Chain A
């Protein structure tokens, strides 16, 4: 099965942002927008659901903090207590200032790395994956909006041209429905 999509190409992020709002206002379905850099407010204009990665990040941070607390306690208090600078070495609470840098770093480490990995998994990205990008120049200086074609193709093309697209192409999309 194949479906028709229109690729509208822009060369300015401001124009693109207004175009997205206009196309949404005219009740067309925007499948995807490809940009060389993150455009502020684009996710809101496209009506994407708010990201939940912040919540995931918070939970990863808590996980990292817990692991770090267990780790420092096991290494420095339970398994092999050492006398460092005459500090009491048999109580976690009295030693905790010395461990705070470790707790902090582990929290950041877990939050950052697991957040990136989560993002890759969620976006279905993995090493050697073939790019889904329809036009390589969207990684350079062009912006591409992919719009599903409804009943009236001509009207849509006219609308897109009016929003300031420098090029509008109709595409047959093959594969997944």
Chain B
């Protein structure tokens, strides 16, 4: 049974891409090029109160400035950081001349950071789906065989997605943007902490590592897909066994490189800050989004009359994973937060102070979307079998984890100059369109049922 990429969906995804590219292009063009322009832009936004995000955040940042006035470690508030030598990205610019330059960098960073968030987010959906797929293969799970082609379709985005991320990293390395402050020699010259990390955080090694991760993941994706298709027309179980061994090996490689990737690509935008469970935190975010997208694509295909053998028990199991990984994500989010909040060490706690002061609504709103709502919606066993509840919870989870990535990247790159404007919406739309296009054209390339898999019968009969 073949899926054919419907014309409507193709037009939809292409128009998402075009609209997104135009909006993002305007975002890039309207970024300031000189300090004077940057100051004028900020003065303008304050004066007219036109941009929802700015105004909103300005008021609550002020509220919090009062609340935290006496906090010993308050360090990162934009307006009064000049006399403050605690850890933050502004340290190298500790006089008011550089303050303006810093503002310029933040405003210039906005379209870049928006692109980077969206590029990372969609690449990680594919990467998370690949990890989930490898777990099913390595565990020789019987229930999920009918979903393999859906997962393989989603992981098809890994190649373009990871190449785009790599290109963005190279452009950062060429100093076309200021996403990674540790790449700026001027900053490093004044910053002892970053100097001590130079043997790990330097551009050539950084890019070499990125290349290693990307090549490794894509090799697994290529061979697992190849063996999976070959198994369809094979009477033995040779390819199944090969896939099993390959998946086990990949999972070892993955858990190491995923963790390092999260330090390199995400944690290093805050080069002073570190969290030992950060790799797990990013993993939880990507796997819950990936399982959600698998469930949503499956339900979409079922609504087209395909994947008839996928029953509500399969959906129920995906729902359980969505529920469970949401709770797992929250556990890690809270573990990271509580330890840092309690110990109150300056170079650590500044991370959360920035987020609570400048990103209050987003930071806590994301926890509601990623924990409270999935918990309540998906708790009931019957709701996990209901397509509408899965789709509803799924939309909330996907948006919530986009905000999670936004919260990981934005505070360090644009500071309190965030909002949801053309750059953010445009880049999200561009990559969503590209993701849909790549995933659904990959789904159309092979039969949706892996009929040669030795466990396919078990998956067909799967009843919980």
Which A residues have a C-beta under 8 Å from some C-beta of B? 40-41, 54, 58, 85-87, 97-98, 100-101
- Inter-subunit contact A85/B338 (CB<8 Å): no
Within the complex, what minimum Cβ distance (angstroms) separates A69 from chain B? 16
**Contact at B342–A98, with CB atoms within 8 Å?**
yes
Pairwise interchain contact A100-B338, C-beta atoms closer than 8 A:
yes
Please tell me if the beta carbons of B344 and A85 are within 8 angstroms of each other in the complex: yes
Instruction: Check if B342 sits within 8 Å of A100, measured CB to CB.
Output: no
Question: Once bound together, how far apart are the Cα atoms of A101 and B338, in whole Å?
Answer: 10
Q: Pick the residue among B72, B337, B380, B464 that contacts A97 (CB under 8 A).
A: B337
Complex interface: chain A residues within 8 A of B205 (CB) = none
Quick one: CB contact mask for B338-368 with A, threshold 8 Å, 1 for yes? 1001111000000000000000000000000
Task: Write the residues of chain B forming the contact surface with A, with a CB cutoff of 8 angstroms.
Answer: 72, 334, 337-338, 341-344, 379-381, 463-464
Is A54's CB under 8 angstroms from B463's CB? no
| Interface of chain A, main secondary structure | helix
> Would A54 and B381 count as touching, CB distance under 8 A?
yes
- Nearest CB on A from B290, distance (A): 26
Cross-chain contact A97 with B344 (CB below 8 angstroms): no
| 9 closest A-B pairs by CB | A97-B338, A97-B341, A85-B342, A100-B334, A98-B342, A41-B463, A85-B344, A100-B338, A97-B337
Nearest neighbor of A54 in chain B, beta-carbon distance:
B381
Q: Is the CB of A40 within 8 A of B464?
A: yes
Which of B338, B344, B379, B380 contacts A86 (CB under 8 A)? B344
Chain B residues with CB under 8 Å of A86's CB are: 72, 344
B135 to chain A, nearest CB (A): 22
A86, B342: Cα distance in complex, Å: 9
Chain A residues near B380 (CB, 8 Å)? 54
Give the complex CA separation of A25 and B463 in angstroms: 20
Q: Chain A residues near B379 (CB, 8 Å)? A: 58
Please name all residues of chain B whose beta carbon is closer than 8 Å to the beta carbon of A101 when the two chains form the complex: 338
Q: Which of A40, A41, A58, A98 touches B338 (beta carbons < 8 Å)?
A: A98
CB distance from A61 to the nearest CB of B (A): 10
- In the complex, which residue of chain A has the Cβ closest to the Cβ of B341? A97
**CB pairs A–B below 8 angstroms (21 shown):** A40-B464, A41-B463, A54-B380, A54-B381, A58-B379, A85-B342, A85-B343, A85-B344, A86-B72, A86-B344, A87-B342, A97-B334, A97-B337, A97-B338, A97-B341, A97-B342, A98-B338, A98-B342, A100-B334, A100-B338, A101-B338
| Residue numbers in A under 8 Å from B334 (CB-CB) | 97, 100
